[in-house]
Structure 1
Amino acid sequence: MTETSFFTITTTQQWLWRGYPICYQSQGDNGPAVVLVHGFGASCGHWRKNLPELATHCRVYAIDLLGFGGSAKPTPSNEISYTFETWGQQIGDFCREVVGGPAFLVGNSIGCIAAMQAAVDNRDMVLGVALINCSLRLLHERRQQNISWGRRVGAQIMQQLLSVRWFGRWFYRQVAQPKSVRKILLQAYQRPEAVTDELVDLIMKPAREPEAADVFLAFTRYSQGPLPEDLLPKLPCPAMVIWGTADPWEPVDMGRELATFDTVERFVPVEGMGHCPQDEAPELVNPILAEWIASHSDGAYRTGPSDYCF
C-alpha cells in the first residue's frame, strides 16, 4: 500500500516480528543506516518531512512500534506488554533482520527511551542515538516523589480510574476525536500552521482501530520501567540531544541535565519550537541530524564541507 505524504509518495512495507505484522517505511540506497522511532500516539508517518531529506545520504527506515500506526495492536497479556524492553527488542531485531546490520537510531519523545533501551540491550546493532525532546517520564513512580502531594495523588487517582475498563474506554473515546487531537497538537507545537489536516489524519487513522484503546490505556498506566538517566550511562555508543526549547510537556531545563552524562556529545536547542521539532521545523532539525550522522561515518557520506551547515 502507499501513503501520500507532504514531500513524497512512500511505500509502507511489513515485517513479521514474533508473529505480529510491523509496518515501516524506507528510502535511500547508500550510506549509513538510520532508524527513526516515533513518539506516543504517532507512527512512521510523523517522519514524512525527515525521511526523504536524510535519505539523500543515508539508508533510512521509519518504523511503527508494536501497538502504534499500522503495526499489530495485540491485547496486553503475559506474553506481550507495552514496555520499553519490548520495543527495544523490536528495534534491535529490526536492525538485524530488515536493516541487515548496525544503525543510527533517532527517536522523538518516548521513542528516545525505546531507542536507548534498544542500544543497551543490542550493543552490536546501534552506532549512535539522537534524542529529540526525550520523554522525561514525569508520571513515573520515581518522579512522583518530587512533585506536590496534590499533583501526585491526582495522577494516581487518574491512573486507577483508567484501569477500570468502561471508564478507560470512555476516556479514550473523548481523546481520540479530531478536535481533541488537534487541540493537543496545538499545545505541543509552537507553529500552529504545522498542525495540518494531514497530521491530524496521521494520528487519527490508527487511533480508530478497535485495539488502539487497549494500547493507549496500557501505556498511560505504565509508571515503571527506565528513566533517561538510567539508560544514558549504559549506552555503548555516542548520543546527541536535540530539544525544542518551548516544549510545554518536557521542560528544556530538565532536558539540559541529560547533557551532563559522558555519553552525550552535544545538546542542540531548537529555539522556540515545541515537543516535535523534527516535524515542526524540519528545515532546522534535518541538517543537525545529517551532520551528526556524517561525523560518525568517517566522513564517507559528505560531499562537501558545507553540505550540512546550520
Structure 2
Amino acid sequence: MCIHWCFRETLGNVLLSIYANKESVDETLVEVLIFSTYIACNEEGVLDAFVSIVTGPPGPNPVQLMPTIFIPVLVLWGDKDPFTPLDGPVGKYFSSLPSKLSNVKLIVLEGVRHCPHDDRPELVHENMLPWLAETFNF
C-alpha cells in the first residue's frame, strides 16, 4: 500500500511540474496513468520494449521527417513548455516551418506547457476544430 501511495504522490508531483493548468492534474488523470502502467507492466515483452525505447537508436528527427510530409500539419505548441521550449532548437525549427512549408501551420498556446491536449483541452479544441473544418471542409 505504501508503494502505491508513494508512486501516486510522485506521479502527481511530476504531472504538476508538466501541466500549467494545475486543475488538469486530478485524481482521474493520476488513476488512469497508474492503471495503464499496472496493466502494461503485466504484459509480456513490456520491459524489453521499454529498454529498447530508452537505449535504442533515436530514429529520424523532425528536421529529417517534416520535409517529407505533404499533408496538412497543425502544430500546437505551449509557450511554457519546459521540455521543448519554443526558443530551444526544436522550437525554433518548428517556428520556422510555416514560412518554409505551405502545409504547416503553427499556433502557440499561451500559458500552456508540454501536454496541451490535457493541460488546456478547451484551448486545443478552440484552435484545432476550426483548422480541421477549414483544411478538410467539414
Q: Taking structure 2 as the reference length, what is the TM-score of the superposition?
A: 0.79
Q: 2: distance between equivalents of 1:296 and 1:264?
A: 10
Contact 1:240 1:266 in 2 (8 A): yes
Q: 2: distance between equivalents of 1:222 and 1:194?
A: 32
How large is the Cα RMSD of the aligned pairs?
2.3
Contact 2:86 2:95 in 1 (8 A): no
Q: Displacement, 1:179?
A: 2.0
Percent identity of the aligned residues? 29
* Residue identity opposite 1:232 in structure 2: M
Q: Taking structure 1 as the reference length, what is the TM-score of the superposition?
A: 0.37
For residues 90-141 of structure 1, give each alpha carbon's deviation from its aligned partner in whole angstroms, at most 9, with x where no partner exists.
Answer: xxxxxxxxxxxxxxxxxxxxxxxxxxxxxxxxxxxxxxxxxxxxxxxxxxxx
Q: Displacement, 1:260?
A: 2.4
For residues 183-233 of structure 1, give each alpha carbon's deviation from its aligned partner in whole angstroms, at most 9, with x where no partner exists.
Answer: 211111112221011001111112113234443333222342011111100
Q: 2: distance between equivalents of 1:234 and 1:259?
A: 17
Q: Displacement, 1:240?
A: 1.7
CA 1:183/1:263 → structure 2, altered by over 3 Å: closer, same or farther? farther
| Higher share of residues assigned strand | 1
| Higher share of residues assigned helix | 2
> What SS class does the counterpart of residue 241 from structure 1 fall into?
strand
1:241 to 66, 75, 93: 75
Bigger relative CO (Cα 8 Å, ≥ 6 apart): 2
Unaligned runs of 5+ in 2: none
For residues 228-255 of structure 1, give each alpha carbon's deviation from its aligned partner in whole angstroms, at most 9, with x where no partner exists.
Answer: 1111000021212110111111111232
Contact 1:237 1:263 in 2 (8 A): no
Q: 1: distance between equivalents of 2:65 and 2:80?
A: 25
Match of 1:178?
8
1:275 to 114, 119, 124: 114
Runs of 4+ residues over 4 Å off in structure 1: none
Q: 2: distance between equivalents of 1:222 and 1:185?
A: 26
Unaligned runs of 5+ in 1: 1-172, 302-310
2:93 to 257, 264, 284: 257
